[in-house]
Chain A
Amino acid sequence: AGFCNEKIPPSFLRNIVSTVNLACKLDLKNIALHARNAEYNPKRFAAVIMRIREPRTTALIFSSGKMVCTGAKSEEQSRLAARKYARVVQKLGFPAKFLDFKIQNMVGSCDVRFPIRLEGLVLTHQHYEPELFPGLVYRMVKPRIVLLIFVSGKVVLTGKWCLSLPAAHCYLIF
């Protein structure tokens, strides 16, 4: 644990989920028919599933005008992608606006590069059930994030956080 105090391992964002309100009622059938890369199966799910290639993302567009954008790798990309989807909807003739863009969840992964003894880590906030899942589930309270800590040293973080926070946490557990 000595040397890792100097170098906090970098964490990489893998996925960002955000929501935005387009503020107008949408006709999903219309959108599904006219837009490329859109799928709509009302019996299965009540939203149009649209994908764009540029920031590789997927959006769920609901008839109320609300939209969920997933798959982006950074906050800026997520916002850009959401704007692109709004643009597509706008081009189809709906008066789409871009209200309340909010990031709901961010998933990142990190590698501390040394094996971790999970039995030693178990304190109060953790759940470690080797029979159920090989990773320890650590629910940190201060920044509300959940970390999945594995024996190999890989850590998956999910929740609403910014890049400096997991560094603080890593310092805490070591």
Chain B
Amino acid sequence: ILDVLPRVTCPNHPDSILVEDYRAGDMICSECGLVVGDRVIDVGSEWRTFSNDKATKDPSRVGDTQNPLLSDGDLSTMIGKGTGAASFDEFGNSKYQNRRTMSSSDRAMMNAFKEITNMADRINLPRNIVDRTNNLFKQVYEQKSLKGRSNDAIASACLYIACRQEGVPRTFKEICAVSRISKKEIGRCFKLILKALETSVDLITTGDFMSRFCSNLGLPKQVQMAATHIARKAVELDLVPGRSPISVAAAAIYMASQASSEKRTQKEIGDIAGVADVTIRQSYRLIYPRAPDLFPADFKFDTPVDKLPQL
């Protein structure tokens, strides 16, 4: 999906790797030696920068990495400060003031991309999710159907959708934590974007969040697997109708951690999962009666099932 530049291939060997010959800017087929790309412009960077270099002068004469996928026609050439005498006019002011604004048409979009990268950074999201978010944002922006909404809200909602689409959903509250937009507004934009782009997303399940919540709480792998099992069983047996999967997951983690040696309080779990501890209590009360059936068969109980706290 993220194919940027038109891929050239040798007409006889479409699968073979092309070798770049820098001297003449050619792309040569490694099988038959046919030159397929002639005088191809090298878009790599001119100088390599190392962190120990004293950052006095950056000798690079080229602009930023090209991103034609997202901001079309991005030629970020700027006019630097003048050095010789010819760059100053009569009054001592420099001719060619400053750097001209580049790509003014998509300034807002570039701003949004920066915001998206910031948000994703705060929760350590990988690059593929950020790219997907950028793509979604571009599609929404071009469609203009949500033009009235704040760009930050659309960006947050795109981030939420991208996480869902990649199979690692984040709760609305987690996105709220890194965004200045309220959950209500993000939810509204989310629904609008789904309608505008005519896509849908899969339902969230309890298992999607287990690894994240458990590792944030410092729980060992067995407890995590037990909690996953409990939550899945609880949903299968429909013990918790109508409860949000996050609440069920939190209650399952509580039960699993209380049965093991690594106990966590409801408050700690509630903090990590973003659910109130009364909510955990409610869901826990629903799964407590069937506790023996919910645990996996090979689980080592530190606290036996009948000694589990009853709230």
Q: Please tell me which one of the listed residues B194, B200, B203, B243 contacts residue A119 in the complex, with CB atoms under 8 A apart.
A: B203
Range of interface residues on B (Cβ < 8 Å): 10 to 19
Interface size, chain A (Cβ < 8 Å) = 15
Q: Which residues of B contact A115 (CB under 8 A)?
A: 238, 241
- Given A117-B238, A150-B242: A131 and B172 within 8 A (CB)? yes
Q: Please tell me which one of the listed residues B190, B194, B200, B244 contacts residue A130 in the complex, with CB atoms under 8 A apart.
A: B244
A57 CB, nearest partner CB in chain B, Å: 31
Q: Which residues of B contact A119 (CB under 8 A)?
A: 203
Encode A114-155 as 1/0 by CB contact (under 8 A) with B: 010101001010011111101000000000000000111000
- Given A131-B171, A132-B172: A151 and B242 within 8 A (CB)? yes
Q: Please tell me which one of the listed residues A117, A131, A150 contacts residue B204 in the complex, with CB atoms under 8 A apart.
A: A131
Interface of A (DSSP majority class): loop
B248: nearest residue on chain A (CB-CB)? A130
Encode B188-224 as 1/0 by CB contact (under 8 A) with A: 0011001000001001100000000000000000000
Distance, CA A134 to CA B243, complexed state (A): 8
B188: nearest residue on chain A (CB-CB)? A132
Q: Which residues of A contact B241 (CB under 8 A)?
A: 115, 117, 151-152
Q: Are B200 and A131 neighbours in the complex by a CB distance under 8 Å? A: no
The reply on B246 being an interface residue by CB < 8 A is yes
Distance, CA A129 to CA B246, complexed state (A): 12
A135: nearest residue on chain B (CB-CB)? B242
Distance, CA A93 to CA B7, complexed state (A): 79
Further contacts, 6 of them, CB under 8 A, given A132-B187, A152-B242? A115-B238, A119-B203, A128-B203, A131-B204, A134-B244, A151-B242
Question: Which A residues form the contact surface with B (CB < 8 A)?
Answer: 115, 117, 119, 122, 124, 127-132, 134, 150-152
